[in-house]
Amino acid sequence: MSIRRFPILPKPKNLPKRSSIPNGKEGDRNFDDLAHRFKRNVYDRLKGDIRLAVLQRDLQQWLPEAFNFDGAVDLHGGDFSACKPLKILDAGGGQAQFSCLLAEQGHQVTVCDISSEMLSLARDNAAQLQVEDRMTFHLESIQDFCAEHPQSFDLILCHAVVEWVVEPQLLLERLVSSLKNDGHLSLTYYNVNGIKMKNLLRANFQKILDEDYQGYRGSLTPTFPRQPEDVHQWLAKLPLELLAESGIRCFHDYILEPDQRVLEPEKQLELELRFSQQEPWRSLGRYIHVFSKQSFA
């Protein structure tokens, strides 16, 4: 598979205006009030399994030392003795489900988040997997952590964060500056095209015409759903090479009947993995995973 530079794509017209706060922290979402809802409604369901499986598949493919499994995606277990320990930052890590799995491989993981409730659940996850000795937790923003704890990481995870912050470009710049030479960035973001499709299927046509994609207060819908074109523009300005781009939940969320959404989870998972890197399915993912490597070429 060829490595490619991020394309600089034309910016789409008529985008909804978003507020901007200069320091990039005031207005960023704190999930103290929603931590347990996220756990219940997302992480503990099939949609959470799909997310973990896509992320693990992409890392196994492009950073094999992160996992030491052979064959099919397996969310737990395995022989980790041959893994090369990595220094990993889970930026805005929340409940740290994925980074706990990486700590289970023997890697050293640092988690930072502004939500004490999320970090409490992350510590619970670490304790359940008996990896507390490989994980450290910081109750502070990503911006403050990068400024106050200058370090270089082999791998930085920034999952489902940029759709909740008011200055995503500044955030990405700070994260990339914290990568080691040839370090890797695993970025996921909430895809505005996914929420458009979901509203079309529900016949919420006025929301589309009004470009009303932001969640209401107390909603799990992100404040700033992101245009893939915007994210490509931001990443194109950074010293990164694109390794992989995958859709997460390319069809699962579009099954409108709740009873059907839970049918045959193994087959759903297999098909989600199959379609996640194929168009047009990838571009319909509710989230997009972009895996890249630092490169100054």
pLDDT tens track for 37-79: 544 455 558 999 999 999 999 999 999 999 864 433 444 444 4
Q: In whole angstroms, give the CA distance from residue 151 to residue 190.
A: 28
The SS3 assignment for 186 reads strand
pLDDT of amino acid 296: 75
15 contact partners, CB below 8 Å, separation of at least 6 = 211, 227
Q: In whole angstroms, give the CA distance from residue 194 to residue 160.
A: 14
pLDDT of amino acid 17: 34
Question: DSSP string of 25-91?
Answer: -TTPPP-TTTHHHHIIIIITSHHHHHHHHHHHHHHHHH-GGG----SS--SS----TTPPP-EEEEE
118-161 tens-digit pLDDT = 899 999 999 999 999 999 999 999 999 999 999 999 999 999 99
Provide φ and ψ at 21, rounded to 5°: -115, 125
83-110 tens-digit pLDDT = 568 999 999 999 999 999 999 999 999 9
Tell me the pLDDT of the chain averaged across its residues.
Answer: 84
Domain ranges (residues) in the chain: 23-73+81-192+227-294
- Tokens 């909740």 locate to 164
pLDDT band (50, 70, 90) for residue 12? very low
256-270 tens-digit pLDDT = 999 999 999 999 999
pLDDT of amino acid 67: 84
Architecture of domain 23-73+81-192+227-294: 3-Layer(aba) Sandwich (3.40)
Which of 293, 294, 291, 296 has the alpha carbon at shortest distance from 98?
Answer: 291
Helix (H) or strand (E) holding 199: helix 192-201
